[in-house]
Amino acid sequence: MFGLYESAFGALSWQHGLMFVIGGLLIYLGIAKKMEPVLLVPIGIGIFMVNLPLGGLMIYTPDGFPAEVGTVGELIKSIGEGKIGLLNVLYTYGIKSGIIPLLIFLGVGAMTDFTPTIARPISFLFGAVAQVGVFIVFLIAILSGMFTLNEAACVGIIGGSDGPPTVYLTAALAPQLLGPITLVAYAYMSLVPIIQPPIIKLLTTKKERAIYMKPQVRQVSKLEVILFPIIIFIVAALLVPKSVPLIGMFMFGNLLRASGVTDRLAQSAGGVFIDVLTFLLGITVGALMPAMVFLKPQTLAIIGLAIVAFACSTAGGLLAAKFANLFLKEKINPMIGAAGVSAIPMSARVVQKMGQEANPRNFLLMHAMGPNMAGAIATSVVAGIFLGMLM
C-alpha cells in the first residue's frame, strides 16, 4: 500500500496526503495558536520531509524502522550509496543514543528554580502521587493487547507530562513509537489549559478552590539551593540507578544556576544551546512519522490513552493535596496538587488562573510551582524505574 517511491508523483497515496495535512496542522497550531511552536513547527516540517518522494533525508528499512548508522567508515559509504540520510544520522547519534534529550534536560535544569519546592517539601508528595496516571495507563496499555510491555511503559510515561524523560525512555525501549509518542506528549502538554480545568472543577468545590494562601513562601537559604540538586542526585542514584542519566543532567544544569559562579554556563545551557537541541529533536521526531509508521491503530490508541494519563495524573496530585489538608492546620489550596503533573509551567499557570477566578486575592503561581518542579523529578525517577525493570 505504501511501497517504495518510484517517481516524484506516481507513488504518492492518500495516506501521504493525510500526513501532509497533519504536518500542516502542526505548523498552523505552532504559528497561529502558539502551541509549543518550538517543537510543533519543526515536527511538522519533519513530517513533510519524510513523506515527500525521493527526498532521501530519512531512509527506512522494509520493516518500518529507521536505518541506523554504523561506524564512521560505514556512514560515509552508506551516504554515498543513498542507504542513509542526514536525519538517520541525527536519529542514531542524537535520539536513539539519548544524547539530545539528556542535553535538553541539562538546559531545562539550568532554567529551573527549585526554591518553591524546597520551601514546601510536601510538594514532593503531590509530584509523586501525580505519577499515578503513568502506572494506570501502563496497565491499561498492557491489558489492551495492542502494546508490548516496553511499549506500554512508553505510552504510560506520557502521563508524567515531561518531554525529555518521555523521549529518552521511548528511544531506549520502543523506538518504533518515538514519533507518535513524542508528538502526542508535547501536543497534550500544550493543551493542559484545556484538559485540566474540567478535572479540577469536577474534584473540588468552589470553596476549596477559593482557599487563600499567603503569597509569602518560606525564605530559602543559598546553601539549601546549592545542596538541593546534589542531594536529589545522590538519593535518586542510590534508589533508582537507571534514573542517573536523566536526574544527573537535570541536577547538573540546576547546580550551574544555583552555584552563582557559573552564570555564563547556566545562561548558555538554558539559551541557544537548548534552542538548537530542541529544533534538532523536533525535525528528527517529525521524520520518524512516515505514513507507513504513523497511520496505524496503535497511534489512535496512544492519542486516547494519553488523555487518560493526563487526567489521572491531574486527579492524583489534586486528591493528594486534599488528603494532606486532613492533617494540616493551615489548609492549602488543593488545586496546587494538580500542578504535580509537571508540564512546566503551564499547569502552574492553570492553577493560578483558576485560583484568581475563585478568589481574586489568591496568587497561587509560586505555590503551584513547587509540585510542578517536584513532578519533573518524579517523572525522571519513574522513567528510571521502567528502564531498570525492562532493559
Domains held by the chain: number: 1
Which letter does DSSP use for residue 263 in this model?
H
Distance (Å, whole) CA 119 – CA 279: 34
Query: Which amino acid appears at position 30 of this protein?
Result: G
Q: Which of 22, 41, 30, 60 is nearest to 180 (CA)?
A: 22
Dihedral over Cα of 200, 203, 209, 213: its sign: negative
> DSSP of 69-110, one letter per residue?
P-SHHHHHHHHHTTSS-HHHHHIIIIIITSHHHHHHHHHHHH
Task: Tell me if 109 is assigned to some domain.
Answer: yes
Task: Tell me if 32 is assigned to some domain.
Answer: no
Check residue 334 and give its pLDDT.
96
Each residue's pLDDT, cut to its tens digit, for the chain (391 residues) gives 344 434 334 467 888 899 999 999 999 999 998 888 888 899 999 999 888 876 677 777 766 677 776 655 555 556 555 567 778 888 888 888 889 999 999 999 999 999 999 999 999 999 999 999 999 999 999 999 999 999 999 999 999 888 899 999 999 999 889 989 988 888 888 788 889 999 999 999 999 999 999 887 788 999 999 999 999 999 999 999 999 999 999 999 999 999 999 999 999 999 999 999 998 999 998 888 888 888 889 999 999 999 999 999 999 999 999 999 999 998 999 999 999 998 888 899 999 999 999 999 999 999 999 999 999 999 999 999 999 999 8
Check residue 4 and give its pLDDT.
41
- The interaxial angle of helices 178-190 and 14-32, nearest 10 deg, is 30
Distance (Å, whole) CA 113 – CA 50: 38
What's the pTM value of the predicted model, to 2 decimals?
0.88
Q: Is 346 helix (H, G, I), strand (E, B) or coil?
A: helix
Check residue 55 and give its pLDDT.
65
Q: What is the dihedral of CA 88, 89, 91, 94, to 10 degrees?
A: 180
Check residue 66 and give its pLDDT.
76
Task: Tell me if 72 is assigned to some domain.
Answer: no
Distance (Å, whole) CA 380 – CA 391: 16
Distance (Å, whole) CA 372 – CA 102: 20
Task: Tell me if 152 is assigned to some domain.
Answer: yes
* φ, ψ of residue 267 in degrees (nearest 5): -65, -35
Check residue 82 and give its pLDDT.
57
Domain span at 314: 98-281+294-390
Cell of 271: 539559551
Task: Tell me if 60 is assigned to some domain.
Answer: no
Distance (Å, whole) CA 348 – CA 333: 13
Task: Tell me if 173 is assigned to some domain.
Answer: yes
Task: Tell me if 30 is assigned to some domain.
Answer: no
Check residue 3 and give its pLDDT.
41
Check residue 54 and give its pLDDT.
63
Task: Tell me if 26 is assigned to some domain.
Answer: no
